[in-house]
Homo-oligomer: A and B are copies of this chain.
Amino acid sequence: MIPDRPLEVLKAIVRDYIASKEPVGSKSLVERHSFGVSAATIRNDMAILEEEELIVAPHTSSGRVPTDKGYRMFVDQLSEVKPLSAAEKVAIEGFLSKSSDLDETLSQTVRALSQLTNQVALVQYPSLGRASVRHIEIISIDDKRLLLMLITDSGRIQQHVLDIPGGYEAGDVEKLRNMLNESLTGKGLAEVSAIAKTIAQKSTGKIKPLAERVTPELLALVDANSQEKILLAGTSNLARREDDFPGSISPVLEAIEEQVVLLKLISEMQADQHGVSLLIGRENSVDALSSTSVVISGYENQGSEIARVGVIGPTRMDYSSNIGAVRAVARYLTKSLGGSQ
């Protein structure tokens, strides 16, 4: 479709623009790269690119800037992404090796990724989807309160404090816990709801009131667990890129803080050839994010993809290194979760 040299010109324009943040013109292009042709020829090529809407001129007589479509073609042409430096690898490993607690692992991961990329980093909590119950625990706190815990095989732990106004007996709690674990351990979260209800109904005698108090809370925990959640880090990195945003950054920050929106966005994305998924500029459906790009990869727990991790930044970002970093972090995360979780 598009001849060879013009394509090279496009790549050069993207790279120069990312580096310099100035619209790039034919002359500076020929002197920075060795195309072996004159500026006039480059201009002809640029005319082709403009025809294809891959680049655009901010004003009649000035250099060109890549369009979303231009960036898209650029990344699709990327044959290899920038690998992490040894130092960066060490840094990630150091971050991730410290902990085997899911909360901590994720929060360290997201911080590491944001420092690595100088962008806003995000990580999605493992979603319930295929998660199942690993263990249910009921702990006595004092004579009128219990702590109910749900542990899923994705490593997520959720707890809730229950008031039992009438008090309870230790033996009953023990029995209920055993009942719950026997019937629920290993079951998918989706099944829990139905099973738990029958337990409440089937239980008899002294246990019944306790069961009827506990099971609804258990369901609430399952629900809370299915509420997808995102962890953010490095919001100020966006602010530092202030002038990459027309008008003000504030709507962008708002949109990013809006979990629901972000979740929808990243859950619709599908990995491409590099194991990462990209949305560039207006390719995403959120208006406030029309001048940002999102780089996402999935991470896995025990072989099945469970959630995503990535960065979000101005369209004018260094795609190559960001893709590399996101991919690497996703891999380390998978490794770290598979190993000790």
Stretch at the interface among A83-91, A187-195, A247-255: A247-255
Q: Collect the chain B residues with CB atoms within 8 Å of residue A240's CB.
A: 248, 250
Q: Is A201's CB within 8 Å of the partner chain B? A: no
Stretch at the interface among A12-20, A44-52, A159-167: A159-167
Closest chain B residue, CB of each to CB of A253: B236
Q: Is A135's CB within 8 Å of the partner chain B? A: yes
- Could you tell me the distance between the alpha carbons of A6 and B235 in the complex, rounded to whole angstroms? 43
Please provide the chain A residues from 202 to 261 with a CB less than 8 Å away from any CB of chain B in the complex.
234-236, 239-240, 242, 248-250, 253-254, 256-257
Given contacts A239-B248, A239-B253, A250-B236, contact A101 B141 (CB under 8 A): no
Q: Is A341's CB within 8 Å of the partner chain B? A: yes
Q: Is A302's CB within 8 Å of the partner chain B? A: no
Q: Is A179's CB within 8 Å of the partner chain B? A: no
Beta-carbon contact of A101 and B160 below 8 Å: yes
Q: Is A139's CB within 8 Å of the partner chain B? A: yes
A161 touches which one: B161, B234, B249, B341 (CB < 8 A)? Answer: B341
- Could you tell me the distance between the alpha carbons of A99 and B236 in the complex, rounded to whole angstroms? 31
Q: Is A43's CB within 8 Å of the partner chain B? A: no
Beta-carbon contact of A141 and B135 below 8 Å: yes
A245 CB to nearest chain B CB (Å): 10
Q: Is A151's CB within 8 Å of the partner chain B? A: yes
Closest chain B residue, CB of each to CB of A236: B253
Q: Is A147's CB within 8 Å of the partner chain B? A: yes
How many copies of the polypeptide does the oligomer hold?
A: 2
Chain A contact residues: over half helix, strand or loop, or mixed?
Answer: mixed
A144 CB to nearest chain B CB (Å): 10
A141 touches which one: B134, B141, B239, B253 (CB < 8 A)? Answer: B134
Interface residues on A, range: 35 or more
Q: Collect the chain B residues with CB atoms within 8 Å of residue A137's CB.
A: 137, 139
Q: Is A28's CB within 8 Å of the partner chain B? A: no
A131 CB to nearest chain B CB (Å): 14
- Could you tell me the distance between the alpha carbons of A239 and B240 in the complex, rounded to whole angstroms? 11
Beta-carbon contact of A242 and B250 below 8 Å: yes
Given contacts A100-B161, A160-B101, contact A254 B236 (CB under 8 A): yes
Please provide the chain A residues from 125 to 183 with a CB less than 8 Å away from any CB of chain B in the complex.
134-135, 137, 139-142, 147, 149, 151, 155, 157, 159-163
A202 CB to nearest chain B CB (Å): 25
Please provide the chain A residues from 86 to 141 with a CB less than 8 Å away from any CB of chain B in the complex.
99-101, 134-135, 137, 139-141
- Could you tell me the distance between the alpha carbons of A132 and B141 in the complex, rounded to whole angstroms? 13
Q: Is A34's CB within 8 Å of the partner chain B? A: no
Q: Collect the chain B residues with CB atoms within 8 Å of residue A139's CB.
A: 135, 137, 149, 151
Would you list the 10 A-B pairs with minimal beta carbon distance, nearest first? Answer: A236-B253, A239-B250, A236-B254, A240-B250, A100-B161, A239-B253, A137-B139, A101-B160, A235-B235, A239-B249
Supply 17 A–B pairs (Cβ within 8 Å), ascending by A. Answer: A100-B163, A101-B160, A134-B142, A135-B140, A137-B137, A139-B151, A141-B151, A147-B157, A155-B161, A161-B340, A163-B340, A234-B257, A236-B257, A240-B248, A242-B248, A242-B249, A242-B250
